Amino acid sequence: MKEEAIKSYKVPIEAPRDLIEAYFEVKRKALREVLNHVAYSQTGKAHLNFKAEDRRKLRNDLLKDWRYSKHYIDSAINSIIGLVKGWIKLYNRGKAKSKPKITRRTVYIKNTLFSYKNGLLKISIEPRRRYLEVDLRKYEYLPKDFDSIGGLLLTESELIITFRKLVKNVKPKRWASFDVNLTNITALINGNIIRYDLKKLYHFHRIYEKKRKKIQKFSKHKPKTANRLMKKYSKREKNRAKDLMHKLTTKITRELADLKSGALLENLKNIKSRILNKSRDLNRKLSKWNARQFQFMLEYKLKWLDLPVKYINPKNSSKACPLCSGRMATYEGRLMKCKKCGFIADRDIIAVLNLQMWGSGVTPKALIARLRAMMGKRLVTKTYQFL
């Protein structure tokens, strides 16, 4: 199976508001109907009893007075069935709060509804008479080296376009490893330890946390205002944090592309998520957010350039001595010392060293000799500031 890389971009558009509104209403109707077909067993488990004939009936109902392309009805029904099935899964695990609702005015446009030729995207709104045309050549930031366009998502002011590209299996010249923490990302790239400073991102999250706490205080008296402010601030916080991660991962991707280097990342599924998911603590949530965003963005950006990403089980990555496999114990602050050979190093550096050796099978001897001579001091060769 060939692997695909995917990138999504937004372009501003004059949206067909009538279609967006009609699609929104159709989804609400479809949701009411599909929810009527959720049945519960004697043990209280939910399941969906929606047969092909139910679907046909719903489709015919929805097509009455529908002047837009018929494919929109099919995609609305599919997305509603997906939504309800997702809800049933949560419900059966005891995790569903309330029944699903349609809140977003977005239209999913599958590839049967648009054509793409010479930079021009032509989306069918009403069959054979009304189209939305978007000239992608006007937007310089869009990728030019893609193989196809996947689905489109239409919002009230933007079109979100997914570009696809087939990934070639290229063997990288070398591997870089990354360890993501709350206030920094430590990397081992081409034999050098590099640290990307996330302190400003961290402080900025704390400022928003304070704002949220303030809002919570008056949420009892003014719930509507509180809700609106909360949404506004959360969105702003997320967007600004994402912006920063984009800048950082783009910069790292360029460096790795120059070096023809793949990336070794910690597989968070195994260990960290188990501890982190249960925690309500803001710091843990934030370091989880950092790690997921960083890995997600770096992975698709590297894949787009045919550079591989490998996930390594991080078990004991900051506890095993990279020189002799002895056990490292806390020494001083973030420093760890090997009980067997006496090697001292910062725990993040131990983690990237181990990830690199486990993932690539290569020992960075020159670096280790340097670290050994320094005995835990002046470990970082370069620090990048962000924001």
Q: What is the DSSP string of 231-292?
A: HHHHHHHHHHHHHHHHHHHHHHHHHHHHHTEEEEEE-TTTTHHHHHHT---HHHHHHHHHHH
User: Is 323 one of the binding residues for Zn ion (CB under 5 A)?
Assistant: yes
Judged by CB under 5 A, the stretch of 3-11, 96-104, 158-166, 332-340 that binds Zn ion is: 332-340
How far does Cα 353 stand from its chain's mean position?
Answer: 26
Closest to Zn ion by CB, 232 vs 340, is 340
Amino acid, res. 372: R
CA dihedral 339, 342, 343, 345 (to 10 degrees): 70
Judged by CB under 5 A, the stretch of 66-74, 156-164, 324-332, 379-387 that binds Zn ion is: 324-332
User: Is 362 one of the binding residues for Zn ion (CB under 5 A)?
Assistant: no
Judged by CB under 5 A, the stretch of 12-20, 178-186, 241-249, 338-346 that binds Zn ion is: 338-346
**Which residue of 30, 113, 321, 352 would you call a contact of Zn ion, by CB under 5 A?**
321
Q: How far apart are CA 188 and CA 367, in angstroms?
A: 10
Q: Shortest approach of Zn ion to residue 340 CB, angstroms?
A: 5
Q: Any idea which residue has 């392309």 for tokens?
A: 69
User: Is 338 one of the binding residues for Zn ion (CB under 5 A)?
Assistant: yes
Closest to Zn ion by CB, 124 vs 317, is 317
Q: Shortest approach of Zn ion to residue 361 CB, angstroms?
A: 19
Closest to Zn ion by CB, 262 vs 322, is 322
Task: Pull the structure tokens for residue 183.
Answer: 């206030």
Q: Do the Cβ atoms of 358 and 367 come closer than 8 Å?
A: no
Q: How far apart are CA 122 and CA 115, in angstroms?
A: 5
- By the 10 Å C-beta count (0-12 exposed, 13-18 middle, 19+ buried), 94 is classed as exposed
Closest to Zn ion by CB, 257 vs 368, is 368
User: Is 81 one of the binding residues for Zn ion (CB under 5 A)?
Assistant: no
Closest to Zn ion by CB, 82 vs 342, is 342
**Which residue of 199, 217, 340, 377 would you call a contact of Zn ion, by CB under 5 A?**
340
Q: Shortest approach of Zn ion to residue 206 CB, angstroms?
A: 37
- In this structure, what are the phi and psi dihedrals at residue 213, rounded to the nearest 5 degrees? -65, -40
Closest to Zn ion by CB, 12 vs 342, is 342
Write out the residues near Zn ion by the rule CB under 5 A. 321, 323-324, 326, 338, 340-341, 343
